[in-house]
């Protein structure tokens, strides 16, 4: 006898189709979130950014969510206005923020232009990233509530795991292609690609709204429609914030994600600086983490759905985080294959905790308050994602104060020679072309030095730096005069880049100029966050045992 379908979500095909469509709206968000992370060295050598600038940029994702409470408002709007309205607003803001970020990166600002003592370009890029952050976090809680709406009492943990896996394909893609795309075209090209993905995200959510409308109509006509929950009221926020189990899971969330997401922002640069990995391949190692999560999160979600043990899964995930960051912190462990191995293990931990964490929230908080509950958790998470990247940039800059100035000095020396020699009429190059060539050549040389040399850097005085810059300029000028401008222009550009690197590489190596970041103290911070996450995972398990939330019980109701 054919089974009677009460609502649209009782159709397996319908609910999984809805999941895939709504998940596509977050794919682009996860891509853009890390699109500039592999490009950090280019931002330093081409735009003159330093690690503090990059820390300001990455932390700006949370500015409006944390200080203007936009995430809290998003959660309230979600519970009051519903998934369709909130999701469309969120994906629109994602596209607007990405577009502003791209404009800031390609716009030429007056030299020395500052806002509040920070580079104008950094500030405007950060504002764009902050607007994008508002849209992405609002989209995240909207998608989470949509999954609960379609899958509660069914394969909810698996569905949430699948949604996260699709989104993290965007993260993996960013690490794989962002730097090669930037090196082939321009440092801003990954952001342009991200903008295209944002438009796809908006289109996907528009399609989803039609399915959501049909679901609501089917619920209204079904038996479920007669058992409606009370409408959300502002006083319900008090119920959420008085719940100790909610706070344990919220703090565990901020500690866990602060030990993973900010790490990914700096992971490509870490692989180049500590493990001497080629810049073209450096993004591939961090990309192993989201790939591990892509495959494992749905598996662990299925385990939680069928077997339970949600709190225990979160404890195991925290233990994995501690192990990985401890291995990465130890200076003598500097083999690239070891880094790759522990990043894969980190992907396992990154799969375990979210697979159990997000499906556990509906067991603690009623569905009518779920949007606000997720919003408060995301808001607390955003506080961590604001503070930690900012601290990482400050720590990295303060413990490596001469790296960025040294990179800029190399670029200035190369540009000085290029401007002197290549501006002659026989070369027929514009000022813009000369500047771009100098940027590429200096970046190439710095990358090669960081990747291939193992010398102990020394402090160089101001007078010694001027001598070094003069030596670089003279050697570059001599090399350029030997290159004929006749023939294929692309080959001419390539010859200039290669010959410049060959000329100045030994000069810098002999001087032992410091161009490499030491990430030791940043990694100590990640290890500390991992230890704290374990503490709160145990507290959550104890609270579940006391209150009987059912975190250790299966999700699928038989």
Q: Are residues 425 and 357 in the same domain?
A: no
Q: pLDDT of 71-84, one tens digit each?
A: 888 888 888 888 89
The mean per-residue pLDDT over the stretch 109-114 comes to: 80
Residue 329 lies in a domain: yes
Give the residue, 515 or 424, on which the prediction is more confident: 515
CATH number at residue 51: 1.20.1250.20
Residues 145 and 179 reside in one and the same domain:
yes
In a domain, 92, yes or no: yes
Q: In terms of domains, do 392 and 438 share one? A: no
Whether residues 380 and 451 share a domain: the answer is no
pLDDT at 224 over 70: no
485 with 409, same domain: the answer is yes
Residue 233 lies in a domain: no
The top-scoring range by mean pLDDT among 38-47, 190-199, 543-552 is: 190-199
Tokens of 333: 């462990």
- Mapping DSSP onto H, E and C, the string for 312-361 reads HHHHHHHHHHHHHHHHHHCCCCCCHHHHHHHHHHHHHHHHHHHHHHHHHH
The closest alpha carbon to 74, from 146, 137, 125, belongs to 137
Question: Does residue 457 carry a pLDDT above 60?
Answer: yes
pLDDT higher than 60, residue 488:
yes
* Domain presence at residue 154: yes
Q: Helices 40-47 and 403-422 sit at what angle, rounded to 10 degrees?
A: 50
Same domain, 538 and 499: no
243 — pLDDT class (breaks 50, 70, 90): confident
Q: 81 and 148: one domain?
A: yes
Quick one: average pLDDT of 198-223?
85
Mean pLDDT score, 333-348: 88
Mean pLDDT is lowest, of 101-105, 193-197, 494-498, 514-518, for 494-498
**Looking at the structure, do residues 40 and 78 belong to the same domain, yes or no?**
yes
Residues 431 and 540 placed together within one structural domain of the fold: no
Total domain count, the chain: 2
Mean pLDDT over 351-372 rounds to 79
Q: CA–CA distance from 431 to each of 107, 144, 161, 436 (Å)?
A: 17, 51, 51, 9
pLDDT class of 4 with cuts at 50, 70, 90? very low
**Cα 28 off chain centre by:** 12
**Comparing 141 with 322, which gets the higher pLDDT?**
322
Q: With contact defined as beta carbons under 8 Å apart, do 316 and 372 qualify?
A: no
What mean pLDDT value characterizes the chain? Answer: 85
Taking 60 as the threshold, does the pLDDT of residue 514 lie above it? Answer: yes
User: Does one domain contain both 542 and 481?
Assistant: no
Kindly tell me if the per-residue pLDDT of 451 is higher than 90. no
Report the run of H or E that residue 540 belongs to, with start and end. helix 520-547
Residue 101 exposure: Cα atoms within 13 Å on the Cβ side: 32
Q: In this structure, what token pair is assigned to residue 194?
A: 């991200």
In this structure, is residue 93 part of a structural domain? yes
Say yes or no: 22 and 135 in one domain: yes
Placement of tokens 């995930």 in the chain: 317
Quote the pLDDT of residue 289: 77
The β-bridge partners of 312 are none
pLDDT greater than 50 at residue 274: yes
CB-based contacts of 530, cutoff 8 Å, min separation 6: 255, 259, 318, 321, 322, 324, 325
pTM: 0.72
User: Mean pLDDT, to the nearest integer, of 475-499?
Assistant: 81
Question: Is residue 556 included in any domain, yes or no?
Answer: no
What pLDDT score was predicted for residue 2?
A: 41
Query: Does 232 fall in a domain?
Result: no
Q: Is 514 helix (H, G, I), strand (E, B) or coil?
A: coil
| Helix, strand and coil in the chain, % to nearest 5 | 80, 0, 20
One domain, residues 408 and 462: yes
Containing structural domain, residue 43: 15-220+238-400+518-547
In the predicted model, what is the mean pLDDT of residues 8-23? 85
111 lies in some domain: yes
Determine which of 184-193, 380-389, 496-505 has the lowest per-residue pLDDT on average. 380-389
């Amino acid at each position: 006898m054919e089974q009677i379908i009460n609502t649209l979500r009782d159709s397996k095909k319908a609910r999984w189709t809805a999941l895939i469509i709504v998940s596509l709206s977050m794919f682009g968000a996860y891509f853009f979130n890390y699109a500039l992370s592999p490009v950090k060295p280019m931002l330093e050598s081409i735009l003159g950014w330093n690690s503090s600038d990059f820390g300001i940029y990455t932390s700006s994702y949370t500015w409006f969510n944390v200080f203007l409470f936009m995430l809290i408002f998003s959660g309230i709007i979600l519970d009051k206005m519903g998934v369709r309205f909130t999701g469309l607003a969120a994906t629109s803001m994602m596209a607007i923020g990405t577009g502003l970020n791209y404009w800031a990166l390609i716009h030429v600002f007056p030299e020395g232009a500052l806002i509040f003592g920070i580079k104008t370009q950094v500030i405007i890029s950060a504002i764009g990233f902050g607007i994008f952050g508002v849209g992405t976090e609002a989209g995240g809680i909207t998608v989470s509530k949509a999954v609960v709406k379609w899958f509660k009492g069914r394969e909810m943990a698996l569905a949430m795991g699948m949604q996260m896996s699709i989104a993290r394909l965007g993260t993996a893609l960013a690490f794989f292609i962002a730097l090669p795309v930037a090196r082939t075209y321009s440092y801003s090209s990954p952001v342009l690609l991200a903008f295209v993905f944002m438009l796809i995200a908006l289109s996907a959510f528009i399609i989803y709204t039609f399915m959501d409308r049909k679901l609501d109509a089917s619920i209204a006509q079904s038996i479920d429609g007669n058992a409606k929950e009370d409408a959300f009221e502002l006083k319900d926020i008090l119920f959420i914030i008085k719940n100790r189990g909610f706070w344990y899971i919220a703090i565990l969330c901020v500690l866990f994600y602060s030990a993973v997401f900010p790490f990914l922002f700096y992971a490509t640069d870490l692989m180049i600086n500590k493990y001497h990995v080629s810049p073209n391949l450096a993004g591939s190692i961090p990309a192993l983490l989201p790939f591990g999560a892509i495959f494992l999160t749905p598996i662990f979600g299925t385990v939680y759905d069928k077997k339970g043990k949600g709190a225990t899964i979160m404890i195991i995930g925290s233990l994995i985080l501690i192990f990985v960051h401890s291995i990465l912190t130890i200076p003598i462990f500097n083999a690239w294959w070891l880094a790759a191995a522990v990043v894969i293990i980190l992907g396992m931990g990154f799969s375990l905790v979210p697979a159990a964490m997000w499906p556990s929230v509906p067991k603690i908080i009623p569905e009518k308050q779920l949007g606000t509950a997720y919003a408060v958790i995301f808001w607390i998470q955003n506080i961590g994602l604001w503070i930690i990247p900012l601290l990482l940039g400050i720590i990295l800059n303060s413990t490596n104060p001469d790296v960025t100035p040294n990179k800029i000095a190399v670029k200035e020396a190369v540009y000085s020679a290029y401007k002197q020699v290549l501006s002659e009429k026989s070369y027929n190059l514009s000022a813009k072309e000369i500047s771009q060539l100098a940027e590429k050549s200096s970046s190439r040389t710095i990358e090669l030095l960081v990747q291939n040399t193992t010398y102990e850097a020394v402090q160089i005085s101001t007078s010694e730096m001027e001598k070094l810059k003069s030596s670089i300029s003279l050697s570059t000028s001599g090399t350029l005069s030997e290159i004929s401008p006749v023939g294929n222009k692309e080959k001419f550009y390539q010859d200039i880049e290669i010959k410049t690197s060959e000329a100045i590489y030994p000069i810098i190596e002999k001087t032992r100029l410091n161009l490499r970041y030491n990430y030791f103290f940043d990694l100590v911070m990640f290890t500390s966050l991992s230890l704290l996450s374990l503490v709160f995972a145990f507290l959550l398990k104890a609270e579940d045992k006391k209150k009987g939330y059912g975190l250790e019980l299966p999700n699928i109701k038989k």
